[in-house]
A and B are shown apart, each in its own frame.
Chain A
Amino acid sequence: MADIGYVALLLALVASIYSAIAFIYGVGGSHRGLTDSARNGLLAVFGLVSISVAALIYALVTHDFQIEYVASYTSRDLSLPYLLSALWAGNDGSLLFWAWLLSLCAAVVVLQKRDIGKELMPYASSIIMVTQAFFLILLLFVSNPFHKLAFVPAEGMGLNPLLENPGMIFHPPILLAGYVGFTIPFAFAMAALLTRRLGDEWIIAIRRWTLMSWLLLGVGNIIGAWWAYVELGWGGYWAWDPVENASFMPWLVATAFLHSIMMQRRRRMLKVWNMVLIILTFSLTIFGTFLTRSGVISSVHTFAESPLLGYLFLAFIGVTLFGSLGLLYYRSEGLKGEAEMESLVSRESTFLLNNLLLVGAAFAIFLGTVFPVISEAVRGVKISVGPPFFNQVNGPIFLAIILLTGICALIGWRRASIKNLARNFLWPLVAALMLGIALFFLGIREWYALVAFLVCGFVLSTIVYEWFRGTRARHRLRAENYLKAFLGLIGSNRPRYGGYIVHIAIILIAIGVVGSSFYSVEKEAALMPGESMTIKDYTLTYDNLDSYETESKLVVMATLSVYNQGKLIGKLIPEKYFHRSYQQPVTEVAIRSTLIEDLYVILIGWDEDGTTAFKVLVNPLVNWIWIGGVVFVLGGLIAFWPERRKLPAPGQAKAERE
């Protein structure tokens, strides 16, 4: 089986190199058949990498421990979902999965019926195949997932117990799909530069690819945050770990890109800037992979360190970054914008500011992530850059971005009159101020939290206010009832209203982040059975300690009765797992979650005399982060969902560009 997988990869490499070259020669004109052949080569790559993935899955499911990868990440007692998830548990497997996702995207690109961007497709496909070849070379010569051991171990090492969580089944593949997806917009951008077709064509062709990748990356991160929160047992969801940063940076830059391509389509502005943004996004996705796999920067996510792999990634980033920026420089004549502004106060200005801040935030995160390396090189002193830096620098930037979200929607394109502004801003401002006063009297006195909630309230009311006005207009104009009018409004311009829903999601997440960052309460206590501790309105009485055994682990569980203002509201059972195959115990936290706050209990340890130590946190508003995540997906899907396909009519491409 291992040999089939490896040979398939080898053939895929040959096919991808052939396809990359044939696409370019094929469009030259004299070899029409060659483009079709290149296309078939690309589809063959997809088929071959799929065979290779199937071979690895077969080896994982049948416990073929002679394959080193299978022996390193699985064991016989692992259930089927986790056996399958081992595909992306280690470095080699996840690279194979990456290569497969890329070949899948490539296949979709060539099979897609497209009215716009036909001329770009061969060049874009060629660039995708070059990337594909790079990953196949890594798989074949540096991190071969089919590497065989000289002997057959009786049992595998098993999956790291921290990874045995539903998060493992969703977080890595979704995140990887997001990373991989950005290859497509990048490839089309390069194709536009190569062919000098520098109009809006490429932007129309990749809008939904970008949206999809951006959505996947965002959801992947939210699932990761949720996973950290319920599994890692430190009461938080985001630690500004280098690898979290690595997936957050491309998301931020892609967010800027999604906004600035609107400027290009509407106003023919920012053509060079859009190119820069997509080049940065793609380079950052590869940088993220480099960070996880090179061991240059230590992180909880690091795979086994391999300096060679690190250098290869670095070389690839260098070639893409300088190659594409160089190409951009040579083509910059053709990218001169036709920018004209009528007023400084216009939606265009807010879009530019939003772009600046999003890229600024990504820059701050990049700087913080690589600064330990810089410091060591410059001063020879090892330092750490952690949450205090990232929170202090990014907090104000994110707040400004959220504020702009609200302002932007209220200011029209081109120019805004004072009368217009006053009419649009009055009610949201009144609503936000009332909220601020109410919060102040409810006891929110920390000024930063107060300002943040105020901003969130303001932006939320701008969106609600606009929806209300649009719905009312439809209601009056078409005599529809309010619900139908509202749904009609959303359906009338899905990219736009989907975008608004995503804005609401971001605000919900912000509310959760601000609440839990500023008002989290933490308490540690050592209790004898029968003793109680109090935190905020909760009283926790420690009932007893018990344990049971499963096939793979010993579970120690503590039972606590939870009272709220004297009334029993339930039991919480934090646990600790002691896996036979792993030395470190794993903490299973117990969480009682409401819309207002989470009661979060960690079992720390116990003494022979029966004293048991707990760490208890009350984290306000955390649930709103997950609710925001769901709303984020909803809004993204509404914006992403294809418009009903119209019959392609001559001149449609032109009409769509208008």
Chain B
Amino acid sequence: MGLKGKLSIILLIVLLSFSPAKADAATVGDISKQLICQCGCNTVLSNCECGTQEAMTALIEQKLAQGQTEDEIIQSFVAQYGEQVLASPPASPPKKDFNLVLWVLTPIAILGGGGAIYMALRKWGRRGRQSRAGRTRRK
């Protein structure tokens, strides 16, 4: 079997669904950064290299060609795979959602810690002033 034959067999096995990207590449890239590949690799779609990734990317391209917006396309993926297809739970609108915890817990913790540090600094400052005052009196 010549080189050409080998190449075409490899082609058949691995790259059946390959199709040249003709749609607006930037937008496909934008959307695939917000989705997780569903092959089990648990990486962002644009980072994966597998058949599932190719199929999902092709679907995005197809929907873009049909004139769907970014939001509509992402929602269609959520409808199909559930929330786990999103690279991160959406920040908005999270109002009543449990996912809000994920987004606000760190800022709350840091603000709380900042408050604790402020109180401690004030306490230590008072102690410092007292001991300085004590030293001056002794002199």
Report A's interface with B, CB cutoff 8 A.
Answer: 232-234, 236, 239, 241, 269, 298-300, 339-344, 348-349, 352-353, 356-357, 359-360, 363-364, 367-368, 371-372, 375, 378-379, 381-390, 392-393, 397, 522-526, 545, 547, 554, 556, 578, 584-585, 587, 604-608, 611, 613
Assess whether B131 is in contact with A522, with CB atoms less than 8 Å apart.
Answer: no
**B79 at the A/B interface (Cβ < 8 Å)?**
no
**B93 at the A/B interface (Cβ < 8 Å)?**
no
Assess whether B11 is in contact with A605, with CB atoms less than 8 Å apart.
Answer: yes
Assess whether B88 is in contact with A384, with CB atoms less than 8 Å apart.
Answer: yes
* Distance of A383 Cα from B99 Cα, bound (Å): 9
Q: A234-B47, A360-B106 are in contact. List 5 more A-B contacts (CB 8 A).
A: A241-B43, A385-B88, A385-B102, A386-B44, A388-B88
* Distance of A122 Cα from B7 Cα, bound (Å): 65
In the complex, chain B residues whose CB is within 8 Å of the CB of A384: 36, 42, 83-88
* Distance of A36 Cα from B9 Cα, bound (Å): 68
**B121 at the A/B interface (Cβ < 8 Å)?**
yes
Closest A residue to B10 by CB, please name it: A578
Choice from B10, B21, B82, B128 contacting A524 with Cβ under 8 Å: B21
* Distance of A364 Cα from B29 Cα, bound (Å): 26
* Distance of A341 Cα from B117 Cα, bound (Å): 12
Assess whether A522 is in contact with B29, with CB atoms less than 8 Å apart.
Answer: yes
- Residues of chain B from 101 to 139 with CB closer than 8 A to chain A in the complex: 102-103, 105-106, 109-110, 113-114, 117, 120-121, 124-125, 127-128, 131-132
Q: A299-B42, A547-B7, A578-B10 are in contact. Are A379 and B125 (CB under 8 A)?
A: no
**B40 at the A/B interface (Cβ < 8 Å)?**
yes
- Residues of chain B from 64 to 79 with CB closer than 8 A to chain A in the complex: none
* Distance of A487 Cα from B18 Cα, bound (Å): 58
Q: A239-B47, A384-B88 are in contact. Are A524 and B34 (CB under 8 A)?
A: no
**B55 at the A/B interface (Cβ < 8 Å)?**
no
In the complex, chain A residues whose CB is within 8 Å of the CB of B121: 341, 344, 348-349, 352
Assess whether B127 is in contact with A340, with CB atoms less than 8 Å apart.
Answer: yes
Report B's interface with A, CB cutoff 8 A.
Answer: 3, 6-8, 10-11, 14-15, 18, 20-21, 25-26, 29, 33-34, 36, 40-44, 46-50, 82-89, 91, 98-99, 102-103, 105-106, 109-110, 113-114, 117, 120-121, 124-125, 127-128, 131-132
Closest A residue to B46 by CB, please name it: A234
Choice from A387, A392, A545 contacting B44 with Cβ under 8 Å: A387
Assess whether B106 is in contact with A363, with CB atoms less than 8 Å apart.
Answer: yes
Assess whether B83 is in contact with A383, with CB atoms less than 8 Å apart.
Answer: yes
In the complex, chain A residues whose CB is within 8 Å of the CB of B120: 339, 352
Assess whether A342 is in contact with B125, with CB atoms less than 8 Å apart.
Answer: yes
* Distance of A384 Cα from B105 Cα, bound (Å): 17
Q: A349-B121, A524-B25, A587-B49 are in contact. Are A367 and B11 (CB under 8 A)?
A: no
Distance (whole angstroms) from the CB of A159 to the closest CB of chain B: 19
* Distance of A556 Cα from B3 Cα, bound (Å): 10
Closest B residue to A522 by CB, please name it: B29
Assess whether A386 is in contact with B88, with CB atoms less than 8 Å apart.
Answer: yes
In the complex, chain B residues whose CB is within 8 Å of the CB of A232: 47
Distance (whole angstroms) from the CB of B125 to the closest CB of chain A: 5
* Distance of A523 Cα from B41 Cα, bound (Å): 23
Q: A352-B121, A522-B25, A524-B21 are in contact. Are A386 and B36 (CB under 8 A)?
A: yes
* Distance of A514 Cα from B113 Cα, bound (Å): 28
In the complex, chain A residues whose CB is within 8 Å of the CB of B83: 381-384
Distance (whole angstroms) from the CB of B2 to the closest CB of chain A: 11
Assess whether B127 is in contact with A604, with CB atoms less than 8 Å apart.
Answer: no
Assess whether B42 is in contact with A300, with CB atoms less than 8 Å apart.
Answer: yes
Distance (whole angstroms) from the CB of B15 to the closest CB of chain A: 4
* Distance of A554 Cα from B7 Cα, bound (Å): 10
In the complex, chain B residues whose CB is within 8 Å of the CB of A356: 110, 113-114, 117
In the complex, chain A residues whose CB is within 8 Å of the CB of B41: 300
Assess whether B124 is in contact with A340, with CB atoms less than 8 Å apart.
Answer: yes
Assess whether B110 is in contact with A360, with CB atoms less than 8 Å apart.
Answer: yes
Choice from A390, A392, A547, A605 contacting B3 with Cβ under 8 Å: A547
Closest B residue to A386 by CB, please name it: B87
Closest B residue to A393 by CB, please name it: B106
Chain A CB within 10 Å — which of B40, B102, B103, B131 has the most? Answer: B102
* Distance of A159 Cα from B17 Cα, bound (Å): 28
Choice from B33, B40, B113, B125 contacting A344 with Cβ under 8 Å: B125
Assess whether B86 is in contact with A383, with CB atoms less than 8 Å apart.
Answer: yes
Q: A239-B44, A299-B42, A384-B84 are in contact. Are A339 and B124 (CB under 8 A)?
A: yes
Chain A CB within 10 Å — which of B36, B40, B91, B128 has the most? Answer: B128
* Distance of A545 Cα from B4 Cα, bound (Å): 11
Distance (whole angstroms) from the CB of A492 to the closest CB of chain B: 30
* Distance of A371 Cα from B43 Cα, bound (Å): 16
Assess whether A387 is in contact with B87, with CB atoms less than 8 Å apart.
Answer: yes
In the complex, chain B residues whose CB is within 8 Å of the CB of A348: 121
Q: A352-B121, A384-B87 are in contact. Are A363 and B6 (CB under 8 A)?
A: no
Assess whether B7 is in contact with A389, with CB atoms less than 8 Å apart.
Answer: no
Assess whether B124 is in contact with A353, with CB atoms less than 8 Å apart.
Answer: no
* Distance of A563 Cα from B126 Cα, bound (Å): 68
For the complex of A and B, 9 pairs with smallest distance between CB atoms = A526-B20, A389-B88, A340-B128, A386-B87, A234-B47, A341-B124, A364-B106, A388-B88, A605-B15
* Distance of A460 Cα from B66 Cα, bound (Å): 50
Q: A547-B7, A554-B6 are in contact. Are A342 and B117 (CB under 8 A)?
A: no
In the complex, chain B residues whose CB is within 8 Å of the CB of A587: 49
Assess whether A381 is in contact with B103, with CB atoms less than 8 Å apart.
Answer: no
Choice from A241, A364, A379, A522 contacting B98 with Cβ under 8 Å: A379
Assess whether A368 is in contact with B11, with CB atoms less than 8 Å apart.
Answer: no
Closest A residue to B82 by CB, please name it: A382
* Distance of A364 Cα from B34 Cα, bound (Å): 19
Assess whether A613 is in contact with B25, with CB atoms less than 8 Å apart.
Answer: no
Distance (whole angstroms) from the CB of A469 to the closest CB of chain B: 29
* Distance of A367 Cα from B109 Cα, bound (Å): 11
Q: A356-B117, A526-B21 are in contact. Are A608 and B11 (CB under 8 A)?
A: yes
Assess whether A352 is in contact with B10, with CB atoms less than 8 Å apart.
Answer: no
Q: List 18 A-B contacts (CB under 8 A).
A: A300-B41, A339-B124, A340-B128, A341-B124, A348-B121, A356-B117, A359-B113, A360-B113, A368-B102, A372-B84, A381-B82, A385-B88, A389-B89, A524-B21, A526-B20, A545-B7, A604-B18, A608-B11
Assess whether B87 is in contact with A606, with CB atoms less than 8 Å apart.
Answer: no
Chain B CB within 10 Å — which of A239, A299, A389, A613 has the most? Answer: A389
Assess whether A340 is in contact with B131, with CB atoms less than 8 Å apart.
Answer: yes
In the complex, chain A residues whose CB is within 8 Å of the CB of B50: 584
In the complex, chain B residues whose CB is within 8 Å of the CB of A359: 113
* Distance of A122 Cα from B36 Cα, bound (Å): 50
Assess whether A388 is in contact with B34, with CB atoms less than 8 Å apart.
Answer: yes
Assess whether B25 is in contact with A523, with CB atoms less than 8 Å apart.
Answer: yes
Q: A340-B124, A547-B3, A605-B15 are in contact. Are A236 and B47 (CB under 8 A)?
A: yes
In the complex, chain A residues whose CB is within 8 Å of the CB of B40: 298
Distance (whole angstroms) from the CB of B94 to the closest CB of chain A: 12
